[in-house]
């Protein structure tokens, strides 16, 4: 009875379909519409839904998260808490990028999850302050953009993510060189120039409770500054970033 009540409350999105067929929920995030024949030890035997002449298929119990039967009963093959995190999760993130404070950036982002939690669309907004410059003398003033995050295993307590990120912003380049003719330093700094970054994100997300996630992300890619006119400095430059984030999920 307890499992039945939990299923009705937590799996509201599928409960309307339970009166029609059995559903097998696999650990890879997929779902099979079926007619369960029997559970034989560590194997689950089933036929195609609404096809009595279907061949008999077999699945290992280790592949299955749960079975939702047409009569409303639910059989769990993994801890209920893990199943809840996998299928019933908060789809919106409001994220504070803590590590950006090290480089004098204040960064927030919003992300929404699609496709059963396997794809996330993230929009960051960052403001630079103070006098900190990156290793190549470039300082961010402002950027926004778009990140497409892929979660291959969907949502859960520990998850890996990866995907492309595009950033467009404005910053300052601080540069000077020594002129041996005049024996003086010549300032070549450029202020308020636009730039773009194309990065590939790789990260790990930890979700200890349903409303909180902590993420560490390493990003590698290139930066392009179209209006940069400084001798011996390329407009296209390799770029890297590390982000340690805390997210409120809702």
So what's the pLDDT on residue 12?
Answer: 46
pLDDT score at 33: 92
Confidence of residue 1 (pLDDT cuts 50, 70, 90): very low
The domain tally of the chain equals 2
Question: pTM surpassing 0.85?
Answer: no
State residue 81's pLDDT score: 67
For the segment 62-69, the average pLDDT, to the nearest whole number, is: 89
Q: Does one domain contain both 202 and 143?
A: yes
197 and 157 assigned to the same domain: yes
Sole residue written with tokens 């039945």: 4
Statement to judge: residues 209 and 144 lie in one domain: yes
pLDDT confidence band for 10 (50 / 70 / 90)? very low
From 62, 83, 104, the end of a domain falls on: 83
Average pLDDT over residues 162-174: 95
Mean pLDDT of the chain: 86
* Lowest-confidence region among 147-151, 164-168, 238-242: 238-242
Residues 117 and 148 in one domain: yes
57's CB contacts (< 8 A; 6+ apart) are: 34, 45, 46, 47, 48
Element (H, E) at 144: strand 138-150
| SS3 (DSSP) at 19 | coil
Gap between the Cα atoms of 170 and 193, Å rounded = 5
State the average pLDDT over residues 77-101: 83
Output the domain CATH number for residue 70. 2.30.30.100
The 10s digit of each residue's pLDDT in 236-245 is 999 999 999 9
Tell me the residue range of the domain where 180 lies: 92-249
pLDDT at 72: 83
Q: Which tokens belong to 9?
A: 């409350």
Mean of pLDDT values over 223-228: 94
Among 55-59, 65-69, 135-139, which range has the highest average pLDDT?
55-59
pLDDT at 199 over 90: yes
Same domain, 122 and 192: yes
Q: Is 78 found in the same domain as 123?
A: no
Instruction: Please report where in the chains the tokens 């995907």 appear, as a residue.
Output: 163
Where residue 236 sits, what CATH number does that domain have?
2.40.160.20
Q: Which of 2-11, 101-110, 132-141 has the lowest mean pLDDT?
A: 2-11
Separation between Cα atoms, residue 23 and residue 173, nearest integer Å: 58
Measured in residues, the chain has a length of 250
Per-residue confidence (pLDDT) for residue 245, from 0 to 100: 98
Helix (H) or strand (E) holding 21: none
Sheet holding 57-60, edge to edge: 57-60, 43-48, 31-40, 22-26, 64-68, 74-76
In the predicted model, what is the mean pLDDT of residues 163-172? 97
In whole angstroms, give the CA distance from residue 164 to residue 166: 7
Q: How far apart are CA 20 and CA 33, in angstroms?
A: 10
State both tokens at 151: 């979660």
């Amino acid at each position: 009875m307890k499992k039945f009540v939990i299923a009705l409350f937590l799996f509201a999105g599928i409960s309307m379909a339970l009166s029609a067929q059995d559903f097998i929920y696999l650990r890879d995030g997929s779902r099979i519409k079926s007619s369960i024949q029997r559970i034989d030890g560590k194997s689950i035997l089933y036929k195609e839904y609404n096809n009595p002449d279907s061949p008999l298929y077999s699945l290992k119990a280790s592949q299955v998260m749960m079975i939702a039967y047409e009569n409303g009963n639910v059989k769990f093959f993994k801890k209920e808490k893990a199943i809840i995190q996998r299928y019933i999760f908060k789809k919106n993130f409001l994220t504070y990028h803590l590590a950006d404070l090290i480089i004098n950036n204040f960064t927030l982002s919003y992300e929404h999850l699609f496709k059963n939690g396997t794809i996330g669309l993230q929009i960051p907004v960052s403001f630079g302050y103070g006098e900190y410059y990156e290793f190549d003398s470039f300082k961010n003033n402002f950027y926004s953009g778009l990140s497409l995050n892929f979660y291959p295993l969907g949502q859960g307590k520990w998850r890996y993510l990866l995907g492309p990120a595009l950033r467009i912003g404005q910053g300052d380049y601080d540069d000077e060189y020594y002129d041996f003719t005049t024996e003086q330093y010549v300032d070549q700094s450029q202020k308020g120039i636009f730039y773009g970054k194309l990065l590939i994100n790789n990260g790990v997300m930890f979700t200890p409770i349903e409303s909180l996630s902590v993420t560490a992300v390493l990003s590698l890619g290139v930066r392009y500054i179209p209006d940069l006119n400084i001798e011996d400095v390329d407009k296209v430059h390799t770029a890297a970033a590390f982000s340690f984030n805390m997210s409120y999920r809702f």
